[in-house]
């Protein structure tokens, strides 16, 4: 095999596959799991406009289809101790434009990407865990768990946070992990659904003054509860019905998980011979606030395929590593805001909450700070 091999059929690997096909580059995706797998939970629900545009460009109609599949809300609310202090409703947009985002479960996004990739003639080899790669001067040998392997000109490793490819290259992740834990709960739409609005609660009285984010997506709601530590998160995750009734009454729990805030980037995004390119969570881990993880992985995938086609893999390492660190810093700012560990940070938040009902900038700051600096200031 002399073409491109993509490891992993997650959102990033499938985007790399679509990008390769759109350039006429022969490509094969190797996936560890079977085609019948069930991926749990909503996970990355927020697809930015830039990603929709990418999909539309790679496969005309796909961005629009995803936009229509998802949910687009126009109101954001911020509450402090149960009382609304800020709300913003955006005007209608021209129907011909792609929306600023769409909110849909990652499973649905993956299903659509997979279908688009296969319809475009792409091939996925399922049940094929990759155990490592051996880059050489003329190509790269991809080793698989069955003891065999395949040869490729280049590899895009999109095999997720525990990337076997990254480990086989001995590339460590630099960065930090915060000590705070989040519980994430998916709930199904109730018989009488609430209006689809993004709501951020500072110090929700129903959960002992913890911060809670509510985000609607097509078919349900995603609830993120901020906890002090692992133990507390385990308690809340163990009994979601016990507290959810106070946060989102009348909804049925469909998935519960926990996560930590990681701000980590691989020390190099390419191997020494410029044959293997790490993309998505194989290359970096960000906190989910700000929806940078998957969206930046989609940008990685396209940049990786472009860099291979242009014969400038070094550019990929420079540009996407810089983008990953920018995302880390932005996510770090969001993380520091949410944790509000210092007295000054807490006073600032409280002051903004007092001012917000009367002074729009305070409300806007309180509303947007948990998501980090605006994306127009951060390349993702
Ligand atoms: C609880 C939770 C909540 C999240 N919330 C958000 C959020 O709100 N916003 C956000 O942006 N992101 C969120 N994420 C992260 C988001 O899910 C990831 O950014 C996204 O899945 C990354 O895509 P990926 O393709 O890089 O990796 P993955 O989705 O992990 O896909 C990797 C693929 O590679 C395959 N694979 C793994 N190892 C091998 C191997 N050795 N050989 C072959 N194939 C292999 C896997 O089976 C999988 O198909 C969340 C994640 C979790 C777990």
Ligand 1 pocket: which of 269, 288, 295, 301 to mutate (most atoms <8 Å of CB)? 288
**CB of 225 closer than 6 angstroms to any ligand 1 atom:** no
d(CA 299, CA 222): 24
Ligand 1 nearest atom to the CA of residue 8, by list position: 34
**CB of 99 closer than 6 angstroms to any ligand 1 atom:** no
pLDDT in tens, 269-312: 999 999 999 999 999 998 888 888 999 999 999 999 999 999 99
Q: How many whole angstroms from 282 Cα to the centroid of ligand 1? A: 9
Ligand 1 nearest atom to the CA of residue 131, by list position: 41
**CB of 290 closer than 6 angstroms to any ligand 1 atom:** no
Helix (H), strand (E) at residue 332: helix 313-339
pLDDT of residue 179: 67
Residue length, the chain?
380
Continuous H helices in 120-211: 164-168
HSE-up of residue 209 (Cα within 13 Å, Cβ side): 2
pLDDT of residue 376: 57
pLDDT of residue 341: 86
Q: What's CA 312's distance to the chain center, in Å?
A: 27
Q: Residue with the nearest Cα to atom 12 of ligand 1?
A: 44
**CB of 113 closer than 6 angstroms to any ligand 1 atom:** no
Ligand 1 nearest atom to the CA of residue 291, by list position: 11
pLDDT of residue 364: 94
Q: How many whole angstroms from 10 Cα to the centroid of ligand 1? A: 6
Closest CA to 37 of 7, 6, 77, 8: 8
pLDDT of residue 301: 98
Low-confidence ranges of the chain (pLDDT < 70): 1-2, 94-95, 179, 374-380
Q: Show the CA angle centred on residue 365, arms to residues 360 and 367, nearest 5°.
A: 95
In sequence order, the 6+-apart residues with CB closer than 8 A to the CB of 275 are: 133, 135, 136, 139, 140, 153, 154, 155, 313
Ligand 1 nearest atom to the CA of residue 215, by list position: 8
pLDDT in tens, 87-123: 999 887 766 789 999 999 999 999 999 999 999 999 9
pLDDT of residue 377: 57
Beta strands 4-7 and 27-30 are: parallel
Ligand 1 pocket: which of 18, 294, 375 to mutate (most atoms <8 Å of CB)? 294
Q: Residue with the nearest Cα to atom 51 of ligand 1?
A: 43
Q: Give the pair of three-digit tokens for residue 179.
A: 């000590």
d(CA 192, CA 224): 22
Specify the residue for token string 């990355």: 44
**CB of 13 closer than 6 angstroms to any ligand 1 atom:** yes
d(CA 141, CA 126): 18
**CB of 130 closer than 6 angstroms to any ligand 1 atom:** yes
**CB of 11 closer than 6 angstroms to any ligand 1 atom:** yes
d(CA 36, CA 52): 26
Ligand 1 nearest atom to the CA of residue 295, by list position: 11
Q: Give the pair of three-digit tokens for residue 152.
A: 């490729």
**CB of 284 closer than 6 angstroms to any ligand 1 atom:** no
Q: Domains plus CATH for the chain?
A: 4-72+99-175+263-331 (3.50.50.60)
**CB of 30 closer than 6 angstroms to any ligand 1 atom:** yes
Q: How many whole angstroms from 160 Cα to the centroid of ligand 1? A: 5
Helix (H, G, I), strand (E, B) or coil at 77: strand
């Amino acid at each position: 095999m002399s073409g491109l091999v993509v490891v992993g059929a997650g959102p990033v690997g499938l985007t790399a596959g679509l990008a390769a096909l759109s350039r006429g580059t022969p490509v094969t995706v190797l996936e560890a799991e079977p085609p019948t797998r069930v991926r749990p939970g909503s996970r990355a629900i927020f697809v930015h406009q830039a990603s929709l545009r990418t999909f539309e460009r790679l496969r005309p109609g796909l961005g629009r289809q995803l936009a229509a599949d998802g949910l687009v809300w126009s109101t954001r609310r911020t509450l402090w101790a149960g009382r609304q202090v800020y709300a913003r409703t955006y005007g209608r947009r021209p129907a011909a434009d792609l929306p600023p985002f769409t909110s849909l479960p990652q499973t649905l996004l993956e299903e659509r990407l997979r279908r688009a990739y296969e319809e475009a003639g792409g091939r996925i080899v399922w049940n094929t865990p990759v155990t490592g790669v051996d880059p050489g001067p003329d190509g790269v040998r991809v080793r698989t768990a069955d003891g065999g392997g395949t040869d490729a000109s280049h590899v895009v490793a999109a095999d997720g946070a525990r990337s076997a490819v990254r480990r086989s290259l001995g590339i460590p992740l630099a960065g930090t992990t915060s000590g705070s834990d989040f519980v994430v709960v998916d709930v199904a739409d109730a018989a009488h659904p609430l209006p689809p609005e993004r709501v951020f609660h500072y110090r929700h009285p129903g959960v002992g003054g913890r911060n809670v984010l509510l985000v609607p997506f097509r078919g349900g709601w995603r609830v993120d509860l901020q906890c002090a530590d692992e133990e507390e998160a385990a308690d809340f995750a163990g009994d979601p019905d016990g507290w959810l009734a106070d946060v989102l009454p009348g909804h049925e729990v469909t998935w519960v998980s926990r996560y930590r805030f990681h701000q980590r980037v691989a020390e190099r995004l390419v191997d020494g011979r410029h044959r293997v390119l790490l993309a998505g969570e194989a290359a970096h881990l960000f906190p989910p606030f700000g929806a940078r993880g998957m969206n930046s992985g989609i940008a990685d995938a396209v940049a990786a395929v472009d860099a291979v086609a242009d014969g400038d893999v070094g550019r990929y390492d420079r540009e996407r590593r810089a983008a990953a660190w920018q995302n880390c810093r932005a996510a770090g700012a969001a993380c520091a805001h949410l944790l509000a560990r210092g007295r000054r940070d807490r006073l600032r938040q409280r002051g903004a909450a007092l001012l917000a009902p009367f002074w729009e900038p305070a409300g806007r700051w309180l509303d947007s700070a948990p998501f980090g600096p605006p994306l127009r200031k951060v390349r993702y």
